[in-house]
Amino acid sequence: MKVAILGWGSLINEPRDLPIEGKWQPDGPELCIECSYISQRGERAGCLTLVIDESCKLAATTLYILSERRDFPQAIADLQLREGTELNNIGFCEVAIGGNAPNALRRHPKSCRRIRIWAQAKGFDAVIWTALVRIFKDAIGFPLTLEQP
Protein backbone atom coordinates (compact mmCIF):
# COMPACT_ATOMS: atom_id res chain seq x y z
CA MET A 1 0.00 0.00 0.00
CA LYS A 2 1.34 3.42 -0.97
CA VAL A 3 0.55 5.90 1.84
CA ALA A 4 1.23 9.63 1.55
CA ILE A 5 1.55 11.87 4.61
CA LEU A 6 0.42 15.47 4.16
CA GLY A 7 2.41 18.09 6.00
CA TRP A 8 2.57 21.75 6.94
CA GLY A 9 4.07 23.53 9.91
CA SER A 10 6.43 21.79 12.32
CA LEU A 11 5.96 18.32 10.82
CA ILE A 12 8.02 19.38 7.79
CA ASN A 13 11.11 20.48 9.72
CA GLU A 14 10.68 18.16 12.70
CA PRO A 15 9.43 14.75 11.56
CA ARG A 16 11.23 13.25 14.57
CA ASP A 17 10.85 9.45 14.53
CA LEU A 18 8.10 9.39 11.90
CA PRO A 19 9.02 6.55 9.49
CA ILE A 20 9.20 8.33 6.14
CA GLU A 21 10.97 7.76 2.86
CA GLY A 22 12.30 10.31 0.46
CA LYS A 23 12.00 14.07 0.73
CA TRP A 24 9.03 16.34 1.25
CA GLN A 25 7.44 17.10 -2.10
CA PRO A 26 6.02 20.59 -2.75
CA ASP A 27 3.00 19.63 -4.85
CA GLY A 28 0.50 18.39 -2.30
CA PRO A 29 -3.18 19.31 -2.45
CA GLU A 30 -4.25 22.92 -2.02
CA LEU A 31 -5.93 23.27 1.38
CA CYS A 32 -7.07 26.14 3.57
CA ILE A 33 -4.35 26.20 6.23
CA GLU A 34 -4.48 28.80 9.00
CA CYS A 35 -2.93 29.47 12.42
CA SER A 36 -6.22 28.84 14.19
CA TYR A 37 -5.24 26.26 16.80
CA ILE A 38 -3.46 26.75 20.10
CA SER A 39 -1.38 23.72 21.10
CA GLN A 40 -2.63 22.32 24.38
CA ARG A 41 0.17 20.06 25.56
CA GLY A 42 3.81 19.18 25.35
CA GLU A 43 6.67 21.49 24.55
CA ARG A 44 4.51 23.42 22.07
CA ALA A 45 1.70 24.15 24.57
CA GLY A 46 0.37 27.66 24.03
CA CYS A 47 1.86 28.00 20.54
CA LEU A 48 -0.16 28.95 17.48
CA THR A 49 -0.42 25.93 15.22
CA LEU A 50 -1.31 25.60 11.55
CA VAL A 51 -4.41 23.49 10.92
CA ILE A 52 -6.92 22.94 8.15
CA ASP A 53 -9.47 25.71 8.60
CA GLU A 54 -12.14 25.91 5.93
CA SER A 55 -13.27 29.30 7.20
CA CYS A 56 -10.15 30.90 5.72
CA LYS A 57 -10.42 32.16 2.16
CA LEU A 58 -7.05 31.32 0.63
CA ALA A 59 -5.74 27.84 -0.07
CA ALA A 60 -2.07 26.94 0.23
CA THR A 61 -0.23 24.13 -1.49
CA THR A 62 0.72 21.54 1.10
CA LEU A 63 3.69 19.18 1.09
CA TYR A 64 3.71 15.41 1.17
CA ILE A 65 6.06 12.54 1.80
CA LEU A 66 5.69 8.77 1.65
CA SER A 67 5.31 6.67 4.76
CA GLU A 68 7.79 3.81 5.09
CA ARG A 69 4.86 1.71 6.25
CA ARG A 70 2.84 -0.40 3.87
CA ASP A 71 0.43 -1.28 6.67
CA PHE A 72 -2.19 1.50 6.71
CA PRO A 73 -3.20 1.27 10.40
CA GLN A 74 0.48 1.37 11.38
CA ALA A 75 1.09 4.48 9.26
CA ILE A 76 -1.84 6.16 11.04
CA ALA A 77 -0.46 5.11 14.44
CA ASP A 78 2.96 6.52 13.50
CA LEU A 79 1.51 9.94 12.69
CA GLN A 80 -0.63 9.87 15.82
CA LEU A 81 2.47 9.16 17.92
CA ARG A 82 4.49 11.90 16.21
CA GLU A 83 1.72 14.44 16.74
CA GLY A 84 1.07 13.36 20.34
CA THR A 85 -2.67 13.41 19.81
CA GLU A 86 -5.72 11.18 19.94
CA LEU A 87 -6.60 8.91 17.03
CA ASN A 88 -9.67 11.02 16.19
CA ASN A 89 -7.30 13.90 15.31
CA ILE A 90 -5.68 11.96 12.47
CA GLY A 91 -7.39 12.32 9.13
CA PHE A 92 -7.23 9.70 6.43
CA CYS A 93 -8.51 8.95 2.98
CA GLU A 94 -8.56 5.42 1.58
CA VAL A 95 -8.80 6.04 -2.13
CA ALA A 96 -10.04 2.68 -3.46
CA ILE A 97 -12.92 2.25 -1.02
CA GLY A 98 -13.78 5.92 -0.66
CA GLY A 99 -13.26 5.87 3.09
CA ASN A 100 -12.46 8.91 5.20
CA ALA A 101 -11.82 9.41 8.89
CA PRO A 102 -15.26 10.42 10.24
CA ASN A 103 -13.93 13.32 12.34
CA ALA A 104 -11.87 14.71 9.47
CA LEU A 105 -14.85 14.46 7.13
CA ARG A 106 -17.05 16.28 9.66
CA ARG A 107 -14.39 18.93 10.44
CA HIS A 108 -13.28 19.74 6.91
CA PRO A 109 -15.39 18.08 4.19
CA LYS A 110 -14.15 20.29 1.31
CA SER A 111 -10.55 19.43 2.14
CA CYS A 112 -11.34 15.71 2.28
CA ARG A 113 -12.75 15.93 -1.25
CA ARG A 114 -9.68 17.84 -2.47
CA ILE A 115 -7.36 15.32 -0.85
CA ARG A 116 -9.18 12.38 -2.46
CA ILE A 117 -9.03 13.94 -5.94
CA TRP A 118 -5.34 14.76 -5.48
CA ALA A 119 -4.54 11.26 -4.17
CA GLN A 120 -6.27 9.62 -7.13
CA ALA A 121 -4.32 11.78 -9.56
CA LYS A 122 -1.03 10.92 -7.81
CA GLY A 123 -1.76 7.19 -7.63
CA PHE A 124 -1.75 6.88 -3.83
CA ASP A 125 -3.70 4.17 -2.07
CA ALA A 126 -4.18 6.28 1.05
CA VAL A 127 -3.35 9.66 2.54
CA ILE A 128 -3.01 10.64 6.20
CA TRP A 129 -2.78 14.05 7.87
CA THR A 130 -3.27 15.85 11.17
CA ALA A 131 -6.96 16.80 11.40
CA LEU A 132 -7.22 19.10 14.39
CA VAL A 133 -10.27 21.29 14.90
CA ARG A 134 -9.81 25.07 15.10
CA ILE A 135 -9.89 26.21 18.73
CA PHE A 136 -8.39 29.68 18.66
CA LYS A 137 -11.45 31.48 20.08
CA ASP A 138 -12.06 28.80 22.74
CA ALA A 139 -8.44 28.89 23.89
CA ILE A 140 -7.88 32.66 23.78
CA GLY A 141 -11.36 34.10 24.34
CA PHE A 142 -11.65 36.15 21.14
CA PRO A 143 -11.89 35.17 17.46
CA LEU A 144 -8.94 35.04 15.10
CA THR A 145 -9.26 38.12 12.89
CA LEU A 146 -6.97 40.55 11.10
CA GLU A 147 -8.07 43.25 13.52
CA GLN A 148 -6.73 41.43 16.61
CA PRO A 149 -3.19 42.49 17.67
Q: Is 72 exposed, middle or buried (0-12, 13-18, 19+ CB in 10 A)?
A: middle
Between CA 118 and CA 116 the distance in angstroms is: 5
pLDDT, position 62: 98
> Domain total for the chain?
1
pLDDT, position 50: 85
Asked if residue 143 belongs to a domain, the reply is no
Asked if residue 146 belongs to a domain, the reply is no
pLDDT, position 143: 53
pLDDT beneath 70: ranges in the chain = 37-42, 44-47, 135-149
Asked if residue 147 belongs to a domain, the reply is no
pLDDT, position 139: 44
Asked if residue 142 belongs to a domain, the reply is no
pTM for the complete prediction?
0.88
Q: Range of 21's domain?
A: 3-136
Asked if residue 56 belongs to a domain, the reply is yes
